[in-house]
Amino acid sequence: MRITVLTLLIGLCTSFAFAQQTGSVHVKNATVITVTGEILENTDLLVRNGKITGMGQNLSTPSGV
């Protein structure tokens, strides 16, 4: 009985981990450290559905973000 309850609890917890919201985010004036170690100051980032779609300075915010 205890194993069954434990298995159900673990199953419920892992199902919530995959329920992530998608959407768009505009981060302004961030400090970005690239994989090569380069530091980019005052950088804007556009993220849509979990992927970086824009990076640079003074990016305009798209509608709906």
Rounded CA-CA distance 46/21 in Å is 16
Least confident of 15-24, 33-42, 56-65: 15-24
Rounded CA-CA distance 15/18 in Å is 6
pTM of the predicted model, to two decimals? 0.60
pLDDT > 90: what percent of the chain? 38
pLDDT one-digit tens code per residue, 21-42:
678 999 999 999 988 999 999 9
Rounded CA-CA distance 9/1 in Å is 12
